């Protein structure tokens, strides 16, 4: 069954808020500990606790840095957030240690901002911090003990963050480095978010908008506006919808924006849905709004169709070989395209050509455009965003009289289910049982329909 995650970002989003919400939904803490233990990073431990935010019980995930790695460079208000009398961050039970490298007193959520520098730079306060480049961090992620899907997601999030920082500073990505403190905090938050999402088996993420504050904050480079440059760059590149609230302060961190951009698959909720489970992730700052990220596992009501948004790319190509076009199609599918097809067309001077059409998610658009430009002779790509209605679907494997086969089940708005056997399995079982393809297909389909009907009666 597809798992749909709805993130309600009315109080913004950060890395620790995301991890807390996913842990509250039931992400496997043992799997998370195993991944964090394998990271080639020292000087931190993580803590999971229950806290009260505006009287609501929420899960708090904290990356605690030791004294050596504690940040002494950034303005404390910016680093640790705005604090007010009567702050509502109240622990309600003992912290649970997920990983314990070296202990330090927790101050709050560190902010990771990339910048350009030379290694070995000593800061004015007399503390010297290491700095890590984007490629070094990606190598650390590749060496961690996690599934391929979680690793790929963690890399994607950090690449989004690195590209946003590079654009903010006007330099190539390879010249962006992160303070030791910010790098450790972001590495742990991002890896944890990727591992937790993978652990929950999330297939779709609905994220309508990000609520952000206003005003200014102080960082190492001086006073900067809210939303901070990295958040603005990510929102621009990935079409994230921002809603500016009356809050004076930062609600959306660069790490939170990068996570949102990487995992979002849609912006519109089903017209009617059932909430299966709710998770609350606590933030470290106190504003007029409760600092929580609410995450919900939902199912469309009645099992009917749902609406989301996709991006369509198209370009006309009249001077590219058939072999090259076939290669491009394979690369586009491997890179995440939802659909790829060619249409014969006639261009100027009656030259026969092909129109390449690609359907993809908005977050994959830039990556797929790069493939098209590098692998074909085109010099321009048209794009448009489109709404689509899709049926609820489920992929599973069943035992049949011919052998095990994969099937896809689609549910119509009226609740009727349609069964489609997987092509490759039908081919294999038809050959194994020396049956014509059509006959094997009919047998598998009929037995699958009977099995599903029997399940509905139970």
Instruction: Return the closest-CA partner of residue 308 out of 393, 415, 210.
Output: 393
**Overall average pLDDT of the 316-345 stretch:** 93
pLDDT of residue 289: 80
SS3 per-residue string spanning 24-42: HCCCCHHHHHHHHHCCCCC
Instruction: Name the most confidently modeled range: 78-82, 298-302, 370-374.
Output: 370-374
Give 188's pLDDT tier (boundaries 50, 70, 90): very high
Neighbours of 416 (CB within 10 A): 9
pLDDT of residue 302: 58
The rounded percent of the chain whose pLDDT value lies above 70 is 82
pLDDT of residue 129: 47
pLDDT of residue 179: 53
The answer to which of 15-24, 170-179, 183-192, 318-327 has the lowest mean pLDDT is 170-179
H or E element in which residue 295 lies: strand 292-300
Does residue 187 surpass a pLDDT of 50?
yes
The rounded percent of the chain whose pLDDT value lies above 90 is 50
pLDDT of residue 78: 30
Instruction: Return the closest-CA partner of residue 333 out of 369, 360, 373, 370.
Output: 360
| Distance (Å, whole) CA 372 – CA 443 | 41
| Distance (Å, whole) CA 352 – CA 441 | 38
The C-alpha angle 381, 149, 202, rounded to 5 degrees, equals: 90
The answer to which of 27-36, 62-71, 281-290, 426-435 has the lowest mean pLDDT is 62-71
Does residue 258 surpass a pLDDT of 70?
yes
Give 272's pLDDT tier (boundaries 50, 70, 90): confident
Does residue 126 surpass a pLDDT of 60?
no
């Amino acid at each position: 069954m597809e798992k749909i995650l709805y993130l309600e970002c009315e109080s913004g989003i950060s890395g620790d808020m995301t991890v807390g919400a996913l842990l509250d939904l039931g992400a496997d803490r043992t799997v998370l500990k195993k991944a964090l233990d394998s990271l080639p990073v020292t000087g931190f431990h993580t803590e999971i606790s229950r806290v009260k935010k505006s009287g609501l019980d929420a899960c708090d995930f904290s990356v605690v840095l030791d004294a050596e790695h504690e940040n002494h460079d950034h303005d404390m208000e910016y680093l640790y957030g705005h604090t007010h009398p009567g702050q509502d961050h109240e622990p309600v039970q003992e912290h649970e240690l997920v990983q314990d490298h070296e202990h330090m007193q927790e101050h709050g959520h560190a902010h990771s901002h990339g910048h350009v520098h030379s290694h070995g730079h000593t800061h004015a306060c007399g503390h010297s911090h290491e700095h890590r480049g984007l490629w070094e961090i990606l190598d650390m992620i590749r060496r961690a003990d996690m599934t391929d899907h979680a690793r790929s997601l963690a890399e994607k999030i950090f690449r989004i963050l690195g590209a946003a920082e590079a654009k903010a500073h006007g330099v190539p990505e390879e010249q962006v480095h992160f303070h030791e403190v910010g790098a450790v905090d972001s590495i742990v938050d991002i890896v944890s978010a990727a591992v937790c999402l993978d652990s929950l088996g999330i297939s779709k993420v609905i994220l309508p908008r990000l609520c952000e504050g206003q005003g200014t904050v102080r960082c190492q480079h001086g006073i900067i506006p809210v939303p901070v440059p990295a958040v603005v760059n990510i929102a621009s590149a990935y079409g994230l919808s921002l809603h500016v609230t009356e809050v004076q302060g930062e609600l959306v961190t660069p790490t939170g924006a990068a996570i949102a951009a990487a995992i979002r698959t849609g912006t519109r909720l089903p017209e009617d849905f059932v909430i299966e489970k709710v998770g609350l992730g606590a933030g470290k700052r106190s504003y007029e709004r409760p600092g929580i990220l609410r995450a919900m596992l939902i199912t469309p009501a009645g099992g009917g169709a749902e609406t989301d948004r996709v991006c369509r790319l198209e370009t006309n190509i009249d001077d590219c070989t058939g072999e090259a076009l076939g290669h491009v199609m394979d690369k586009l599918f491997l890179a995440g395209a939802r659909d790829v097809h060619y249409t014969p067309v006639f261009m100027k001077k009656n030259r026969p050509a092909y129109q390449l059409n690609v359907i993809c998610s908005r977050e994959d658009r830039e990556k797929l455009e790069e493939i098209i430009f590098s692998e074909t002779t085109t010099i321009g790509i048209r794009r448009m965003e489109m709404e689509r209605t899709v049926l609820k679907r489920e992929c599973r494997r069943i035992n049949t009289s011919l052998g095990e086969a994969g099937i896809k089940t689609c549910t119509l708005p009226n609740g009727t289910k349609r069964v489609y056997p997987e092509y490759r399995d039908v081919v294999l079982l038809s050959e194994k049982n020396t049956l014509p393809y059509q006959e094997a297909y009919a047998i598998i389909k009929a037995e699958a329909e009977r099995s599903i009907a029997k399940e509905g009666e139970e």
